[in-house]
Amino acid sequence: MKFSKATNYALHTMLFLAVSPQNKLIGVQQLAERQQVSTTYLSKILTKLVKAGMIESTSGASGGYRLKRNWEEVSFLDVIHAIEGTASLFECGMNHGPECLIQQVMLSAEQKMEEHLRNQKLSDLAKQMPVVQ
C-alpha cells in the first residue's frame, strides 16, 4: 500500500509546468532530466494526464506539453486519480452480508483523505514558489 512513483512524477511535472511561463511548450526531455527518469517512461505518464484533460501536447519539432486552460482548478486528487485510477482502496471481497462494517470504516477513512486532497489545488502550491525560467 504505497503511492506509485508514477504519481510522484505526475505531481512534480504538473507543478513544474505550473511555475513555468504559461503557454510555453516544454519538451519531455527537459521534464525527464529534472526528475531523473527516462523520457519514454515519463511520456507514458504524461499521456494519462493528457487523456484526463489536464495538459495538452503538441507534436513535431519544438513540440511539448503545457497546462490546459482550467489548470488552476486541478486538485491533487485529480492527478492521483488520473494515474492510480479511481477504484476504492479497500474492497472486502467476502460474502458475509451486503453491508460489511469493516468496509464502511475503511471507505470513510479513505474519503477523509480524498477530501483533503480535493481541496489542495496545484495552483495553491505554485503561488508559494518562485517562477522558473
CA distance readout (Å), 122 to 15, 27, 39, 61, 103: 6, 20, 23, 29, 31
Q: Which of 1, 40, 86, 130 binds a second copy (CB under 8 A)?
A: 1
Nearer to a second copy, 63 or 105 (CB): 105
Q: Which of 23, 40, 86, 108 binds a second copy (CB under 8 A)?
A: 108
CA atoms within 13 A on the CB side of 125: 18
State the minimum distance, in angstroms, from the CB of residue 128 to DNA: 26
Q: Which of 20, 32, 76, 82 binds a second copy (CB under 8 A)?
A: 76
User: Is residue 56 within the footprint of a second copy (CB under 8 A)?
Assistant: no
The three cell numbers of residue 91 are: 474492497
User: Is residue 130 within the footprint of a second copy (CB under 8 A)?
Assistant: no
